[in-house]
Amino acid sequence: MPDLEIVVCMKVVPKSEEIRVDMESLLLERTGVRSEINPPDMNALEMALALKDKQPARISILSMGPPFFEPILRVGLAMGAERFYLMSDREFAGADTLATTYTLAKGIEKIGDVDLILCGEESADGATGQVPPGLAEWLDLPQVTLATALTIDQKKRIVQVRREIKGGYEIQEVTLPTVISVKTASNEPRFIDFHRKPWAFEEAEVTIWSHDDVDVDDGYIGLTGSPTVVSGLREAEVRDRRKEFLQGSPEEIVRELAKRLQGMLT
């Protein structure tokens, strides 16, 4: 039986405390901002590595972004992935989720013969949760969202997925190939393998694709292919919270606080 072919879509995002917007272009600023791997994508990679621990599998990382993504995402190779594809071209820049999913889908088609596509449930900078379902639509594949665990019967080509729902969980079964988004914090990403580290950061080849390397329609990529438009930005109004300080001795303050809390419950 051939190895399970897994693609994990990963993104590099600005650290949440440093997210800034260029007020002229209305795009996220990248220059001078510290970046990290999108945390939910690390959960997706860990889920792929856990599958690889149990059965023969080959894991490919796929990302779209500027060249500086490369050294950051090599962490995934050090953790256990075998291949890394970076779709990097100015023609891809400024993409919304529609253009992003189209471009990534074309990358997945170019990789070819993929059994399982894993994504984090959302990105820390956009938080739309639209990329996994968008990929499923472009690729015409079944999908499951908010997965917390999964098992694969490769012989039967079936994936059993445990997914989170309000008040509990449910079990779904889908056929391979499929797209699955992984619930944030559903697992604990492993540390890098220090035996793999020299290879991952110094020797491993990264495949970089421009828009000329992939069979894309230029009308569907980058800003041109993005129907979502940010027309303006404004700072949200900050409202002061109501504050009241109780006066008296500690005993009097406790009695008054208990009285007020009791009133709130009745």
**CATH number of 4-220, picked from 3.40.50.620, 3.40.190.10, 3.40.50.300, 3.60.15.10:** 3.40.50.620
**And the tokens for 109?**
């088609």
Average pLDDT over every residue of 46-67:
96
* Cβ–Cβ < 8 Å for 87, 63: yes
Does residue 180 carry a pLDDT above 90?
yes
Does residue 2 carry a pLDDT above 90?
no
Nearest in space to 135 (alpha carbons), one of 215, 42, 208, 62: 62
Residue 28 is predicted with a pLDDT of: 72
Least confident stretch, 127-136, 188-197, 252-261: 252-261
Residue range 78-117, pLDDT digits in tens: 999 999 999 999 999 989 999 999 999 999 999 999 999 9
* Cβ–Cβ < 8 Å for 147, 163: yes
Q: How far apart are CA 55 and CA 151, in angstroms?
A: 10
* Half-sphere exposure in the Cβ direction for 164 (13 Å, CA): 10
**And the tokens for 115?**
């059994």
Name the residue with tokens 């559903």. Answer: 186
Residue 26 is predicted with a pLDDT of: 67
Residue 98 is predicted with a pLDDT of: 96
Distance of CA 163 to the CA centre of its chain: 16
Q: Quick one: pLDDT band at residue 8, thresholds 50, 70, 90? A: very high
Residue 1 is predicted with a pLDDT of: 61
- Helices and strands (H, E) in the chain, number of each type: 6, 11
Does residue 74 carry a pLDDT above 80?
yes
Query: Per the omega criterion (within 30 degrees of 0), is the bond before 177 cis?
Result: yes
* Cβ–Cβ < 8 Å for 75, 47: no
Does residue 233 carry a pLDDT above 80?
no
Q: What is the gyration radius of the CA atoms in the chain, in angstroms?
A: 23
Residues 6+ apart with CB under 8 A from 252: 246
Q: How far apart are CA 62 and CA 118, in angstroms?
A: 10
Q: How far apart are CA 82 and CA 189, in angstroms?
A: 17
Q: How far apart are CA 101 and CA 64, in angstroms?
A: 10
- Residues β-bridged to residue 209: 87
105 torsion bin: left (phi>0), alpha (psi -120 to 50), beta (else) = alpha
Q: How far apart are CA 259 and CA 266, in angstroms?
A: 11
Task: Report the predicted TM-score, pTM, of the whole model to 2 decimal places.
Answer: 0.84
